[in-house]
Copies of this chain bind each other. A is one copy, B any other.
Amino acid sequence: MEARRERRWGRQAEAERNDRIVLEAARAVFAEQGAGAPMSALAERAGVGIATFYRRYGSKEELLQRLCLLSMEESIASAREALAHEGDGWSAVCGFVRRCVAARVGALGPAAGTIAVTGEMTAASELGRELLDELVRRAQADGTVRPDLATLDVSYLIEHFSRIPRCTEEQAGISRRLLAIALDGLRAGDQRSALPGTPPSWESYSGRWYESGGSKEDRPSPSGG
């Protein structure tokens, strides 16, 4: 990896730098404004032209798919870190949730149904679920997390807190407070009120991604002929 960089100066170095700048800007802007953010906003954030994005990703959807996958991989890494964590189950779960929220891992959740699902995404999603399952199971086994908590409650919790309407410093602080409140609510204890209803189903979670998803194959041709 170092060797490749060695020979790249000048223009190619700029291109390589832009690879990262562009992706980071996309992550930041989509996390803040949601998947509906215009491409021009990404370009402005990155300090580059719009075409710089389209030279790297064929379409906005392709970029969103890439970011989705990155989020999932980040979530997986975070779950692995939590499973390796030494300490009680509740603080392991807390660490996982905090890292995921900090990385806005669930920010693209509302885009479900508007972008097609790739095979990589499906695979990453299932792996992530298994790891999170294990994390919650362990945390409940040592009695530090409420026993009526379902794995998907954690997923939805992350998704809820991944969306930040405005990004003032004050707003970020408030989200941190609300998250702390919710995390306290995850603890075991006899003062807990029972969670209402039935635990959420995995089908309802992953099913959102297929609702109105057209396959990428049959896209309308831009030139009306």
Contact = CB atoms under 8 A, between A and B. Distances in A.
B180 A183 contact: no
A177 B153 contact: yes
Interface of A: 109-110, 149-150, 152-153, 156-157, 160, 165-166, 168, 170-171, 173-174, 176-178, 180-187, 189, 191-201, 204, 208
Contact of A178 (B110, B168, B182): B182
Give how many copies assemble into the complex.
2
Contact of A185 (B165, B182, B194): B182
Nearest to A182: B182
24 contacts: A110-B165, A150-B177, A152-B174, A153-B174, A153-B181, A156-B174, A156-B178, A157-B181, A160-B178, A166-B208, A168-B204, A173-B196, A174-B204, A177-B195, A177-B196, A178-B182, A180-B185, A180-B193, A180-B194, A180-B196, A184-B184, A184-B185, A184-B191, A189-B191
